[in-house]
Chains A and B, each alone.
Chain A
Amino acid sequence: MAVADSHDTAHDDHHDHGEFIAHHFDSPEQQFDSGKLGIWIFLVTEVLFFSGLFVAYTLWRNHHPEVFEQAHVFLDKILGGLNTVVLLFSSLTMALAVRSAQLGKNKQCSLYLLITMVCAAMFLGVKAVEYSHKWDMGIFVRSQFDYTGGHDTSGLFGLSPYLIQLCAIPALLLVGCLVAAVIGKLTNKALFGSFMIGMTITVAGFFLGAGSGVVYMSATGGGTGGSHASHVSETQPLMLHAMTASEDEDHDHGEEHAHDDHDHADDHSHEHADGESHEALDGDHHGDAHAMDHGPDPSKFDKDIGTFFSIYYCMTGLHAIHIIGGIIALAWLYWRSLAAHWRPDYFGPVDFVGLYWHLVDLIWIYLFPLLYLIE
């Protein structure tokens, strides 16, 4: 743009000012404006990235509303609501973090960022409980969908093996971060040490989320106890009702079946340690369904519900990936807050990641009612 050297000398003379201004910008404002426009355009691409799934959702819901009506009851509104609250709260702390960065209050900013990260990790923890619970029951994507209603508790402490697997990487991270934090403290690398302590707390947030999920599940009969009776008794009649909606005498069957399921669930809760009887019971359950069915083929019917879960897993999975990406970006900000980089004329990155975080939050605000709150 003009004599480039004038900038370079400015860099040298006032290093603390020019530190974060890239050479090709004329002023902090130009740099900030560019970043702001850039992040907004990026958010547009993000929205469009999700749009494909929203279109798929709309089409399927339009063509097969009954599938959505029956499938959504497998989603737990309380856990979903908990996650919604957690994410909304994290958006608040993110906004506060942006505010403190604008004022140059780095300490405060790092605290808010830490809370945001913990909330994000908590969200993932709750999600892990939700996912593993569904996988236990055989609720997978369309082609793998094989609803058994079973609940595998053969993992450690009577937890689902799926949950244990999902927790493996966070557990490793937790240990790694803790060790790194100790090393940092011991070798007097204060910044690294505090950063790693923050990351340890963040990863612990995952277990906080997973723990609350598990406690909730067991409190309502779905968790470690191996039973999910409340779930099934709630959901199964609905399914059946729709299955046999065209039949006049469906009422009786529906009740009968619900009763079956109660029994089945109870049996299951008694014998949950016994894998084989579990299998047998499932077999019975299916047999019953076949025997009593006069309408549509129940196995096919189950499979169609699988498409709802295909979409559910795609949407929430992609959203979870964005949460993970958000945590990485937040961790970078956290590091820079600890290093006290933010000043009233330089806080762009916090602002930009904040916008991204609000978008991730916003997408969940759409996903929650679309998936969980179907009436």
Chain B
Amino acid sequence: MAAHNVPIGPMGRQKYEVEIMSSEAIRNTFGTPETHFLNHEKGWKSWAFTLDHKRIGIMYLIGVTIALILAGVFALVLRTHLWSFDGTGPVKLTNAQYNQMFTLHGAIMVFAFIIPSVPAALGNIVLPMMLGAKDVAFPRMNLASFYLWIAGTGCLLFAILAGHGLDTGWTFYTPYSIETETGVIYATFGAFILGFSSIFTGLNFLVTVNTMRAKGQTWFKLPLFLWSLYATSIIQVLATPVLGITLLMLIAEKTMHIGIFDPKYGGDPVLFQHFFWFYSHPAVYIMILPAMGVISELISVYSQKKIFGYSFIAFSSIAIALLGFLVWGHHMFTSGQSQVVTLIFSAITFTVAIPSAVKVFNWLATLYKGSILLSTPMCFALSFIFLFGIGGLTGLFLGALSTDIHLHDTYFVVAHFHFVMVGGTLTALLGGVFHWWPKIFGRMYNDFLGRVSCFLVFTGFNLTFFPQFVMGARGMPRRYATYDPEFQIFHQYSTIGAFVLGIGIVMAYAVLVYAAFRGPRCGSNPFRAASLEWQSSSPPDFHNFTHKIAMCDPYDYDSQVYDEELDTYVHRELAQPSKPVEAEPQPAAN
């Protein structure tokens, strides 16, 4: 075709002929291919300058894991410090050091780990494949996002290394953040850059989902993970710029004293809180929505049952994203904002419970009469439902005005958001990583050890944070280096739990890393999942798909038939035509 005569008007996408694959091609696709995205180019440059979403996703995964370990170590240090009530425990921190520890733990966990964890790491790897696309819409922006992540995290770390640390808490509340001599400027600049990294990812995902879907991949055939990533991206794009300008204004306030936030010069410190939470409350949903998406996939696949209430789950993600913008004031019930506003924020906060509950009920309904396989990802998914349930319900206590006055700034709040952030997001991240690991590396992990790690994470987590509900309700304030002796026993449970949790996470990563190099080979679709990414080889080809995609409902598990020769599941239309289809229950032509 004379390509330079392409008309300006709409041009149909290229049509691909349906080819009958030779058995060799099938082996290369559904067995283990010889060249794939991990080995088609070699050398560090092929990683550092790659535009491949899968490689960028893996680099993100490594990056956020390092951030998790770093911030986790800070957490263990301060938990060890809290072993005894008067600060004479095994690790003795000064009060200033203690303040720096919890600040750095919070700032790195929130900005460098949780926010990019599921979307930028797992989402990057999976999203284009689920759409049937070759890559995200803007691969260079994708890589830029990763390097911005490195730069931003570097700035956060520089705040530590510059000698003064950071002691404002991750919220940088004025006026203290203006007065303190610790590295607020470096840290806020780091968070500013990380914000751009997050915007780039969100923008990329929004455009990719809108314009890069394969032919026949309609909105309501998208796996629910994509709906939740889409909702997340909306938040990232709409909320993060506000954080950006807020942090810039904070930097200007700190360097030049422009008098917008600083009461000394007539500024309004509560305005900073409004700006900050206008981003940071939606950011909570940046953290939890993708996790919910992962859980929707896991619950359905490991129950081998069509997800219950697809459209309700899809729209509840969007509803959470939109409602999430209207509730920031519930972080400020005690800040002196007007009573009317407080009341409205409280009321809207309760409405967020509705879409959240819709999701949980739908997951439970999916489990009902499913053929549940308690493999590692499913164990993580079930822990998620339990822990997120507690985290979500205790949020209602805090959204209620009168109880919040009592519980504000106590360990109850700490326990609540850790149940959502760690019990929710971290658990879902681990579950998702276990689920897609065989897809990424083409090798299977040790399921028994995986389940043991899940058990340790679950037990350790509950041991850490459940006592914090109790002491919070009894009045133990957060962010204190020393405390009344009556709380010591709870702190000690909590400290023991933190170490168990740490061991569990390390074990999970050990199992995964071992599997990536030494695990037994597995076929393209060992779990009989039906979403498109499982139609590619494991590991996938650089272009993701080397064959025509068989478009199907992502939760129609009957479409996947077992191929004995390949020891994996293959879509019915792609199964070797000469071979008789296995005796699977055949639904009427759908």
Contacts and interface: CB of A to CB of B under 8 A. Distances in A.
Contact of A314 (B240, B258, B275): B258
B521 to A, nearest CB: 24
Contacts of B203: 38, 41-42, 45
Given A1-B132, A41-B237, 13 more contacts: A1-B134, A2-B549, A16-B4, A28-B11, A38-B138, A45-B240, A48-B239, A51-B241, A59-B268, A141-B256, A142-B267, A143-B256, A314-B249
26 contacts: A1-B16, A6-B16, A13-B3, A16-B4, A17-B4, A24-B133, A24-B137, A30-B13, A37-B206, A41-B207, A45-B237, A48-B242, A49-B245, A52-B242, A52-B246, A53-B245, A53-B249, A55-B271, A55-B275, A142-B267, A143-B257, A143-B265, A306-B259, A310-B259, A311-B258, A313-B258
Contacts of B242: 48-49, 51-52
Contacts of B211: 30, 33-34, 37
Contacts of A141: 252, 256-259
B336 interface: no
B161 interface: no
A144 B258 CA distance: 8
A3 B265 contact: no
Interface of A: 1-4, 6-7, 10, 13-14, 16-18, 22-24, 26-30, 33-34, 37-38, 41-42, 44-46, 48-53, 55-56, 59-60, 141-144, 303-304, 306-307, 310-311, 313-314, 318, 344-345
A117 B240 CA distance: 30
B533 to A, nearest CB: 13
Contacts of B27: none
Nearest to A306: B259
Contacts of B139: 22, 24
Nearest to A13: B3
B381 to A, nearest CB: 30
Contact of A310 (B12, B206, B239, B258): B258
Contacts of A53: 245, 249
A48 B242 CA distance: 6
A277 B132 CA distance: 76
A1 B11 contact: no
A197 B133 CA distance: 43
Tell me the dominant secondary structure on chain B's binding face: loop
A52 B139 CA distance: 30
Nearest to B542: A4
A158 B315 CA distance: 66
B241 A4 contact: no
Nearest to B257: A143
B485 interface: no
Nearest to B137: A34
B281 interface: no
A25 B215 CA distance: 13
A4 B536 CA distance: 13
A21 to B, nearest CB: 10
B545 interface: yes
Contacts of A2: 14, 16, 545, 547-549
Nearest to B260: A56
Contact of B244 (A4, A26, A49, A59): A49
Given A28-B11, A51-B245, A59-B271, A307 B549 contact: no
A59 B258 CA distance: 15
A14 to B, nearest CB: 4
Interface string B8-49: 101111101001000000000000000000000000000000
B306 to A, nearest CB: 26
Given A45-B240, A142-B265, A27 B14 contact: yes
Contacts of A313: 258
B318 interface: no
The 10 closest A-B pairs by CB, nearest first: A142-B259, A143-B257, A52-B245, A310-B258, A24-B135, A14-B3, A2-B16, A17-B3, A24-B134, A48-B241
Interface string B250-277: 0010001111101001111001000100
Contacts of A24: 133-137, 139, 212
A6 B14 contact: yes
Contacts of B268: 59
Contacts of B210: 34, 37
Interface string B530-552: 00000000000001111111000
B257 A56 contact: no
B214 interface: yes
A44 B199 CA distance: 11
